[in-house]
Amino acid sequence: MIYFNVLIEETGETFRCSPQESLLAGMERLGKKGIPVGCRGGGCGVCKVEITSGSYVKRVMSRDYVSVEDEAAGRVLACRVKPSSDISLRVLGKMAKNVCRVQPAVSAAV
């Protein structure tokens, strides 16, 4: 099976995503707690991302959350986008709080 690498720019994390699954499904495999997952159908807007490089196939998204201008600038809903190449993205809105959370460093005892 073909997989593409997806980079989350804010954290430097990458995950693999097949062309048959949404970016949101791939992101969920990172195992981060609290990734907001709403309707999975493009109607709630909680999984908004900005694709900064790479190509993808997109499905219909609510214009309440993704305007024509947003879409033209690569701002889309991760639940409605499937990769067709390696992708770099930035997490926007409600999803950024948990996806971009950096785990606190554990200091060594002296």
Fold observed for domain 4-96: Ubiquitin-like (UB roll) (3.10.20)
pLDDT in tens, 79-107: 999 999 999 999 887 677 667 765 554 44
Write out pLDDT tens, residues 22-53.
999 988 887 766 566 667 777 788 889 999 99
Q: Quote the pTM value.
A: 0.82
| Residue 109 confidence (pLDDT) above 70 | no
Region 12-21: mean pLDDT is 93
* Residue 44: DSSP 8-state: S
